[in-house]
Chain A
Amino acid sequence: MYQAIFYMFLAAGFIGVAALAVGAILGPKKATETKLAAYESGVPASGTARERFPVHFYLVAMLFIIFDIETAFFYPLAVNFKAAPAFLFVNAIIFILVLAVGYLYILKKGVLNWK
């Protein structure tokens, strides 16, 4: 049943490659230096874009990993939930409480406070 994933990727990949190839073959190619410059509201670009950016984005990415893994851990639990509902519910609550401490900490630290 899982080999269907491969065929789906094959079909989707074919569409992607075909579209890119058609565009590359049929489009005109008259490159000039100005045309190939990075867009910066019409003035010549100053420096590259390989610069520092706000730390918030890194923090969001790290928090995402923690809380998304939390969500992912709930999935097997949710699928088998009806096997032992009360036991699993108490377990899940304990797990959520542990993470809630961390969640409250990041809230108080102002990690989610975008200015």
Chain B
Amino acid sequence: MDPWYVTLIKALVLCLVLLGGFAYMTVIERKLLGRFQHRYGPNRVGPFGLLQPIADAIKSIFKEDITVSAADKFVFLLAPFISIVFALTAFGAIPAGPAGSLFGFNPWIMDLDIGLLFVFAATSIGVYGIFLGGWASNSKYALLGSLRASAQMISYELGLGLSALTVIMIAGSLNFRQIVEMGVWSLNPLLWIPLIIAFCTYVISSIAEINRTPFDMPEAEQEIVAGYLTEYSSIKWALFQMAEYVNSFTAAAVISTLFLGGYKGPVFLERWIPGISTWPFIWLILKMAIFIFLFIWLRATLPRLRYDQLMRFGWIYLFEIALGGAILTGFLIAFVI
């Protein structure tokens, strides 16, 4: 157990790291999208365009902050705040290494027995940020965008919750560290079937949950301009973007932790460098990078779904497959193994 000031310092450092990660994810995303489309991407600001996010940050701070005259002023200000606070908080529940591996301190901020539930709760409250933002703008595009976004996000939460059930049933815990230490794949090869189903449905619902292509209906600019962001400018707009990217970090980290062994590294490397599989941060970040790259790759590859297709897919196919996977897990544990 760390003293309280250590926890507070770690929390502040984590927030700053996530903001830095957000800044550099934007530049990596733009560079990769450029490469996918046979162009260079940003390369003017600094070496290889690496100072681009700093230029963007300074620009968004010095832009005029416009609050629409018809808007609900207080809620308009509150919405980006809710989004960013709960996005950052959700990430704090994810452990980044074994106990005491960070120079004697624990490489996590919150070690909760209800870790997974806490992440779900915090990301769900993020929906309020989006909905209140669109509603408070008192603009038709913003309202439509926020309605779509919130309906989509709550619909895909079902798939998310049900696919996580498989892992919870196998691990018998909601605590991320216990799930990682247990190693859900190591129990019985028969359980790989529901795990693979759950992995697929979980990744798909995560992508829908963080509003990324092909599920980025909230920002379908041909139909509803910029969705709930339409009336937002300067730093408030940047906070919404930040929350969205931090949510994609959280999604990547939760997928890695639930399905890919989280902070644990491959043991065979111990032959050359003893202790490498217990180093903090590096393995979680590497695993997250795979999914971040996947998110960007999908954005470069797939067109957007139609809204009715999206809702039907979430409520009928994804819901039924995820529930079926959970039932299969229960059946295998109860009667076969």
Contacts and interface: CB of A to CB of B under 8 A. Distances in A.
B81 A20 contact: yes
A4 B333 contact: no
A79 B168 contact: yes
Interface string B300-337: 00000001100110011001000100110011011100
Contacts of A49: 137-140, 142-143
A107 to B, nearest CB: 8
Contact of B85 (A16, A53, A75, A78): A16
A38 B76 CA distance: 13
A92 to B, nearest CB: 6
Contacts of A38: 68, 70, 137-140, 231
Nearest to A38: B139
Given A45-B139, A53-B143, A11 B15 contact: yes
Given A39-B141, A49-B139, A114-B308, A15 B89 contact: no
A112 interface: yes
A5 B110 contact: yes
Contact of B111 (A4, A24, A48, A112): A4
Contact of A19 (B14, B70, B235): B235
Contact of A12 (B11, B112, B174): B11
Interface string B103-137: 00000011111000110000000000000000001
A10 interface: yes
Query: Which DSSP category, helix, strand, loop or mixed, fits chain B's interface?
Result: helix
Contact of A36 (B19, B68, B86, B162): B68
A16 B81 contact: yes
A115 B157 CA distance: 23
Contact of B147 (A29, A57, A82): A57
Contacts of A45: 70, 139-140
Interface size bracket, A side: 35 or more
A113 B68 CA distance: 35
Interface string A33-61: 10111111100010011110100110011
B327 A96 contact: yes
Nearest to B154: A64
Interface stretch (B57-65, B206-214, B251-259): B57-65
A72 interface: yes
A103 to B, nearest CB: 8
Nearest to B62: A26
Contacts, number: 222
Contacts of A51: 140
Interface in B215-247: 225, 230-231, 234-236, 238-239
A9 B68 contact: no
Contacts of A1: 1, 110-113
A38 B69 CA distance: 8
B85 A13 contact: yes
Given A7-B4, A23-B61, A114-B307, A75 B239 contact: no
Contacts of A10: 8, 11
Nearest to A72: B161
Contacts of B162: 71, 74
9 shortest A-B CB distances, which residue pairs? A23-B235, A114-B308, A11-B11, A85-B334, A12-B88, A71-B161, A38-B139, A36-B69, A89-B334
Interface of A: 1-5, 7-17, 19-20, 22-24, 26-31, 33, 35-41, 45, 48-51, 53, 56-57, 60-61, 63-64, 67-68, 71-72, 74-75, 78-82, 85-86, 88-89, 92-93, 96, 107, 112-115
7 contacts: A5-B118, A11-B8, A12-B85, A31-B66, A39-B225, A81-B330, A112-B311
Given A64-B154, A89-B333, 19 more contacts: A1-B1, A5-B110, A7-B109, A8-B109, A16-B85, A23-B234, A27-B65, A27-B234, A29-B65, A37-B70, A39-B230, A48-B70, A49-B142, A68-B157, A68-B158, A78-B168, A79-B168, A81-B169, A81-B172
